[in-house]
Amino acid sequence: MSQVLVVTSGKGGVGKTTSTAAIGAALAMNGNKVAVVDFDVGLRNLDLVMGAERRVVYDLINVVQGEAKLQQALIRDKRLDTLFLLPASQTRDKDALTSEGVARVMDELREHFDWIVCDSPAGIERGAMLAMRHADVAVVVTNPEVSSVRDSDRIIGMLDAKTAKAERGEYMEKHLLLTRYDAARAERGQMLKVDDVLEILSIPLLGIIPESEAVLNASNVGCPVTLVDGDSAPAKAYIDAARRLEGEEIPMVVPMERRGLMSKLFGRRAA
């Protein structure tokens, strides 16, 4: 059965697009047929992170408006033949995404894919609402800081109230993905601790993605970090998160500050 997953956050710049690409690729590496869908009309970022920007001909709006068939707009990944991108339009008006059209495209995607991963725009405006509308499961991307947690709390409220599933009286499955986690800053008290975030948001933890240069390097070469640098800490955390989405139980790794750990060990030995 196909699953529609929305990657959402409320606050901008927290790592939604990065996470959509990384989780989409990880699910595809596990043998699933995956479509990542860019709902961020006007900004069009997912194609860059996926390294497909020069191959975009048709986009989500063309398909929603009936100007192109779904198969014409889908771009197959160069590296993984089970991974596809449905890009967003950079130029068109956001209002061109009609709710009936989006519903039709999502139904069609469900016929062809195991996982449909929707990259939401920031905020709680129409685009974000359309991205979450048909989701079966939501990943709420949050940075360990107060403003991000507050916006995630708002988006959790929206997920429970405004989605098709919520309107049918069904429970909306939600997972917390803590991203850009900096262990050193958390230890110094400059960031919220994992437990603090969990206590405020009170949804199950899907993974903790460390702040890492590997993510920036992957973005620069236009490849999901899980594909280009699978042994890096963020890739491993994303791969585990994807496996948890598939129902596997995997122990959670909380990123530790290596220097802090070393000095603690050293300190203990010296004592």
Shortest distance (Å) from residue 162 CB to ligand ATP: 19
Cα–Cα distance for residue pair 7/184, rounded to 1 Å: 27
The sheet carrying 173-181 orders its strands as 75-76, 83-86, 34-38, 115-119, 3-8, 137-142, 173-181, 205-210
> Between 222 and 251, how does the x/- string for binding to ligand ATP read (CB under 6 A)?
------------x-----------------
Q: Which does 127 bind (CB under 5 to 8 A by kind): Mg ion, ligand ATP, none?
A: none
Residue showing the smallest CB distance to Mg ion in the complex: 17
Interface residue with Mg ion among 3, 9, 17, 19 (CB under 5 A) is 17
**What sections of the chain are H helices per DSSP?**
16-29, 46-49, 60-64, 70-73, 99-112, 126-133, 146-162, 164-167, 183-187, 194-201, 213-221, 225-228, 233-245, 258-270
Token pair of 226 as six digits = 């899980």
Shortest distance (Å) from residue 165 CB to ligand ATP: 23
Window of 91-99, 152-160, 213-221, 257-265 that interacts with ligand ATP by CB under 6 A: 213-221
- Does residue 9 belong to the site contacting Mg ion (CB under 5 A)? no
Q: Which does 165 bind (CB under 5 to 8 A by kind): ligand ATP, Mg ion, none?
A: none
> Between 36 and 75, how does the x/- string for binding to Mg ion read (CB under 5 A)?
---------x------------------------------
Question: Rounded to whole angstroms, what are the CA distances from 40 to 2, 21, 45, 129, 148?
Answer: 22, 14, 8, 11, 19
- Does residue 17 belong to the site contacting ligand ATP (CB under 6 A)? yes
- Does residue 16 belong to the site contacting Mg ion (CB under 5 A)? yes
Q: Which does 18 bind (CB under 5 to 8 A by kind): ligand ATP, Mg ion, none?
A: ligand ATP
Q: Name the burial class of residue 260, with classes exposed (0-12), middle (13-18) and buried (19+) by CB atoms within 10 angstroms of its CB.
A: middle
User: Which residues in the 181-210 window bind ligand ATP by CB under 6 A?
Assistant: 209
CB under 8 Å to 167, separation ≥6 — which residues?
none
3-state secondary structure of 115: strand
Q: Which does 143 bind (CB under 5 to 8 A by kind): ligand ATP, Mg ion, none?
A: none
Shortest distance (Å) from residue 6 CB to Mg ion: 13
CA dihedral of residues 4, 193, 243, 71 (deg, nearest 10): 30
- Does residue 120 belong to the site contacting Mg ion (CB under 5 A)? no
Q: Which does 179 bind (CB under 5 to 8 A by kind): ligand ATP, Mg ion, none?
A: ligand ATP
CB under 8 Å to 96, separation ≥6 — which residues?
41, 61, 64, 65, 89
Q: Name the burial class of residue 7, with classes exposed (0-12), middle (13-18) and buried (19+) by CB atoms within 10 angstroms of its CB.
A: buried
> Between 39 and 78, how does the x/- string for binding to ligand ATP read (CB under 6 A)?
-x----x---------------------------------
Residues that bind Mg ion (CB under 5 A): 16-17, 45
- Site residues (CB under 6 A) for ligand ATP? 9, 12-18, 40, 45, 122, 179-180, 209, 211-212, 215-216, 219, 234
